[in-house]
Amino acid sequence: MTPIVVTGFGIISPAGRGRDDAWAGALAGATGVAVDEQLVEMGTPVTLSCRVPAFDPDAELGRGASRRLDRFTHLAVIAAREAIGHAGLAGGDDAEAITSADADRTGVLLGSGIGGAETWASEYPNYLEKGPRRTSPMFVPKMLSNTAAGTIAIRSGARGPNMTVNTACAAGASAIHLGRDLLRAGAADAVLAGGVEAGVTGLSVSAFAQMGALTKNPDPATASRPFDVARDGFVIGEGAAVLVLETAEHAAARGATALAVVAGAGASADAHHATAPPDDGGGARLAMQRALADAGVDPTVVGHLNAHGTSTPLNDAAESRALRAVFGDHTDRIAVSSTKGVTGHTLGAAGAIEAVFAIQALREGRVPPTANLVEQDPEIDLDVVAGAPREVALQAVLSTSMGFGGQNSALLFTPA
């Protein structure tokens, strides 16, 4: 079976703008959590968030394009633009336009859990207050969850398969998995695959808070603390990451540099509960086992896990048990980190953002720390990296993602 390689990626996240700044932010372990003045003004039960810093869509995309698109599409377009440039897919003077020779067989597969959340949040009150005839004609195209993937294709000229996947907080990882499979099936030569979310609205924050999913800790510096004994919920974030996946033959033919191999991917369902994982992490275990089997690698070659690690009591404990069930004694030799201490939980974007961080760790042999981990929960029986990055010689890395509905994804990357 032809290897599928990563030849570029782009990222815009609370850890930083662009792949270099975001990776530096992850390595520094400096949390992106802050008091959100918009949420304070709305009077939401929780007022902390992880927003992308200093992001001006008018300046980035032009005022006209910015006004026609929801924030989640803004973020996706910026991440895709960087990924196309990083992979050397652009042709001519347009940094977003894929070369005509590649455009027909370049697909886009993007994950998002919510889609145009800001458009929903702003337009529905407008409809109630001003009536049906004042409803924006742009409401539908702005809020549709497939608009980000469609817009990337429109701007880049990518005319291959174009799809959107929604597996909630596993969506970004699911999109990479399915993008890999499109390439294996011969349906495309290259795929822009990743995830995006911009769900920091008063409505969504209030809903997550009412569920008890968000932290009640009012201190931004310690609010998102995966694996800590005092963790009590996640901090909502936003962002996007897009990876360029190609068949190894296509990448070699155009002289592209392969950064990593998407060696294995696994998916599963908990078949258990709408929002809570089973105590033993059974679904996550299946996803990891399937990724290992798909890659055909010995579990003992895995040296790093970028964990889903949401900073919620149930998730972190269940994921710990799942990892030990898969790796047994080798679990003690896996350097585990959750970068959500820095980024917060970016929902549908998380799996793609964390896939980028896993690849960076693989390439550099540096595992980022789990930010804000002061006292590890004794029930979390893992070697969690904390305080500072750890240098580790890596042969394979895993990135895991889990979503409401009980959907799980695991991606395994190896050196190119």
The 10s digit of each residue's pLDDT in 277-293 is 999 999 999 999 999 99
Q: Please give the biggest Cα pair distance in the chain.
A: 64
Residues 248 and 293 grouped into a single domain = no
Q: What is the domain range of residue 309?
A: 264-414
Q: DSSP E strands: which ranges in 259-403?
A: 260-269, 302-306, 335-337, 366-367, 383-384, 390-391, 396-403
Residues 9 and 129 grouped into a single domain = yes
Domain count of the fold of the chain: 2
Residues 208 and 234 grouped into a single domain = yes
Q: How many CA atoms lie within 13 A of 154 on its CB side?
A: 11
Residues 201 and 308 grouped into a single domain = no
Residues 188 and 235 grouped into a single domain = yes
Q: How far apart are CA 221 and CA 192, in angstroms?
A: 34
The tokens for 54 are 């200093």
Is the pLDDT at 133 greater than 80? The verdict is: yes
- Window from 44-58, 62-76, 91-105, 364-378 with minimum mean pLDDT: 91-105
Residues 217 and 313 grouped into a single domain = no
Of 199, 233, 260, the domain-final residue: 260
* Number of neighbouring beta carbons within 10 Å of residue 94: 13
Angle between helices 18-28 and 71-87 (to 10 degrees): 100
Locate tokens 């990563």: which residue?
6
Of 260, 277, 310, the domain-final residue: 260
CATH code of the domain in which 90 resides: 3.40.47.10
Q: Which among 50, 169, 177, 304 is annotated as catalytic? A: 169
Q: How far apart are CA 220 and CA 313, in angstroms?
A: 18
| Amino acid occupying residue 254 | R
For 229, counting Cβ atoms within 10 Å of its Cβ (0-12 exposed, 13-18 middle, 19+ buried), the class is middle
Active-site residue 169, yes or no? yes
Q: Give Cβ neighbours of residue 277 (< 8 Å, ≥ 6 apart).
A: 270, 283, 284, 314, 315, 318, 319, 402, 406
> Residue 360: enclosing H or E segment and its boundaries?
helix 350-364
Is the pLDDT at 94 greater than 80? The verdict is: no
According to the model, what pLDDT value does residue 140 have? Answer: 96
Statement: the pTM of the whole predicted model exceeds 0.75: yes
Query: Which segment, 59-73, 88-102, 345-359, is predicted with the most confidence on average?
Result: 345-359
Q: How far apart are CA 346 and CA 349, in angstroms?
A: 5
Residues in the chain: 416
8-state DSSP, 279: T
Is the pLDDT at 101 greater than 90? The verdict is: no
Q: How far apart are the first and last CA of the chain?
A: 15
Q: Which among 74, 86, 304, 308 is annotated as catalytic? A: 308
Of 215, 239, 260, the domain-final residue: 260
* Number of neighbouring beta carbons within 10 Å of residue 274: 8
Q: Which among 177, 250, 304, 345 is annotated as catalytic? A: 345
According to the model, what pLDDT value does residue 92 have? Answer: 66
Residues 110 and 215 grouped into a single domain = yes
Active-site residue 345, yes or no? yes
328 band by pLDDT with thresholds 50, 70 and 90: very high
355 band by pLDDT with thresholds 50, 70 and 90: very high
Beta bridge mates, 302: 396
Torsion of CA 266, 271, 272, 276, to 10 degrees: 40
Active-site residue 308, yes or no? yes
